[in-house]
Amino acid sequence: MRHLTALQKAFLNAMLHKDDSDVTRFLWLSDPTDPCSSLTTYRFRAVLFGATCSPFILSATILKHLTLNKDNPAASTISNDLYVDNVVSSFTSETDVLKYFRQARELMAAGGFNLRSWTSNSSELRAMAEAEGVVDRDAVIKVLGLLWEPEIDQMSFVMRSINSKEKATKRGILQQTSTIYDPLGMLAPVTIRAKLLIQDLWKRKYAWDTPIPEREQNTWLHIAEDLNEAMTTSFPRLYFLDSPPNMVDEDYVLHVFVDASTRAYGAYLNTSSNSAFVFVKNRVAPVNELSLPRLELMAALIGARVAQHNMKAVLCKRVVCWSDSQITLQLIHSTKQLKRFEKNRVEEIRKLISDADWRYCPTVDNRADLQTRGIFASLLNIYRMTHNSQACLAARGTKWMFIP
């Protein structure tokens, strides 16, 4: 069960100590209707919205309140799932989320905060929130830059249409591609094509505001149309669909696929439970060309970094990493003295995910392959369905070779 709630007027409910209010002084007209009236000095009594330090002060205040009330079961959940003044949490059962609703409301009310705008994929929780006048009635909710439809539990992207009709410039292409917010890398196989085009324009030293040649214009036209189509993609919010009730944390495995081409490198993460997509990270290769084995090693480093980060967010306790580069696998397992470039990256990989298994898989089965080459938006859903198959991972994984 997933829920979202927000603190009402959060900043104004964090009061300033009297001794600190002098630093918030400001001047205002004693009579706002008379611009010639004398000035009066005012002081804020609460944390002012918009100051650089305000989010930190609000967060410190809330965390202090949660620490003082750590006996309340909701305290640890809010502490882990708080984003400024929003709380986004998930529970394994409807009973747990309903119990949390009561505990969280009482806990934050004791600190002078009102948790409102409750929404959930639980119809019972929405009914309880509506009875108390704190429900969010919107059918589509914006959650940390993405859109969520609670009733069907689907996520989608905020649609920002990319203009492909006007003459494109290097600045314009960079501005428009930067408007795509894709924190999980769901659209990475499509957006990598735009990144590679921008790098090509940079290599050819085109001026920022000069229209690019017709050949590149046509390339951008097709990419822009694909980006607009890709942003209509929706996906299930839940990572672990229909997991057996007897599964425990140790049963979940995070699989990390890494790959590189001469132009880009990256990593694709998914889980063994339902082979659910988790995260993608890719980068264009440096302008100063590197050998393919070195790019493969950099892909492995990216995979290690994102694996270490995502293990904190998902239930997986074990990591299995897959690469189609036997050179990379031999470097990671090597006990010999390595060159500085390889040595620094291998040491970081081992430090980040010291307990991970590194294994070989054929290129045809490497899920990170298309993250480095790019595909058309029309193939994106087919790509997702092909790779999000537990049977695929189970059937092929047993045939892949383990590199000791």
Which helix (H) or strand (E) segment holds residue 147: the answer is: strand 146-149
Q: Spell out the per-residue pLDDT of the chain, length 404, in tens.
A: 777 889 998 999 999 988 888 888 999 999 999 999 999 999 999 998 888 889 999 999 999 999 999 999 999 999 999 988 899 998 888 899 999 999 999 999 999 999 999 999 999 999 999 999 999 989 999 988 899 999 998 999 998 888 877 889 999 999 999 999 999 999 999 999 999 999 999 999 999 999 999 999 999 999 999 999 999 988 888 776 655 555 555 567 889 999 999 999 999 888 765 667 889 999 999 999 999 999 999 999 999 999 999 887 777 778 999 999 999 999 999 999 999 999 999 999 999 999 899 999 998 888 899 889 898 988 887 666 555 544 445 445 544 544 44
Residue (of 327, 309, 326) closest to 361 by Cα position: 326
The 3-state DSSP class for residue 3 equals: strand
Q: Which residue type sits at 397?
A: G
pLDDT of residue 27: 93
pLDDT of residue 392: 46
> How far, rounded to the nearest angstrom, does the alpha carbon of residue 45 sit from its chain's CA centroid?
36
> How far, rounded to the nearest angstrom, does the alpha carbon of residue 389 sit from its chain's CA centroid?
22
CA-to-CA separations, 189 to 192, 323, 350, in angstroms, rounded: 6, 18, 28
Segments of 216-311 assigned E as strands: 234-236, 253-260, 264-271, 277-284
Segments of 297-399 assigned E as strands: 318-323, 357-360
The 3-state DSSP class for residue 375 equals: coil
Which helix (H) or strand (E) segment holds residue 119: the answer is: strand 115-120
The burial of 354, by beta-carbon neighbours within 10 Å (0-12 exposed, 13-18 middle, 19 or more buried), is given as exposed
Those residues whose C-beta lies under 8 Å from the C-beta of residue 369, and which sit 6 or more positions away, are 259, 324, 363
Spatial contact of 318 and 254, defined as CB atoms under 8 Å apart:
yes
Residue 143, beta-bridge partner list: 146
Q: Would you say how long the chain is, in residues? A: 404
**This prediction's pTM:** 0.84
pLDDT of residue 393: 55
Q: What is the DSSP letter of 5?
A: E
User: For the chain, how many helices (H) and strands (E)?
Assistant: 12, 15
pLDDT of residue 390: 44
Spatial contact of 43 and 25, defined as CB atoms under 8 Å apart:
yes
pLDDT of residue 1: 72
The burial of 249, by beta-carbon neighbours within 10 Å (0-12 exposed, 13-18 middle, 19 or more buried), is given as exposed
What region, left, alpha or beta, does residue 84 occupy, with left being phi > 0 and alpha being psi -120 to 50 degrees? left
pLDDT of residue 245: 52
Q: How many Å apart are CA 54 and CA 44, to the nearest integer?
A: 12
The dihedrals phi and psi of 45, each to the nearest 5 degrees, come to: -100, -15
Which helix (H) or strand (E) segment holds residue 6: the answer is: strand 2-7
The dihedrals phi and psi of 358, each to the nearest 5 degrees, come to: -105, 125
Cα(first)–Cα(last) distance of the chain, in Å?
Answer: 41
**What is the Cβ-side half-sphere exposure of residue 287, based on CA atoms within 13 angstroms?**
9
Place of tokens 């009579």: 31
Angle between helices 214-230 and 188-203 (to 10 degrees): 160
pLDDT of residue 173: 94
pLDDT of residue 250: 54
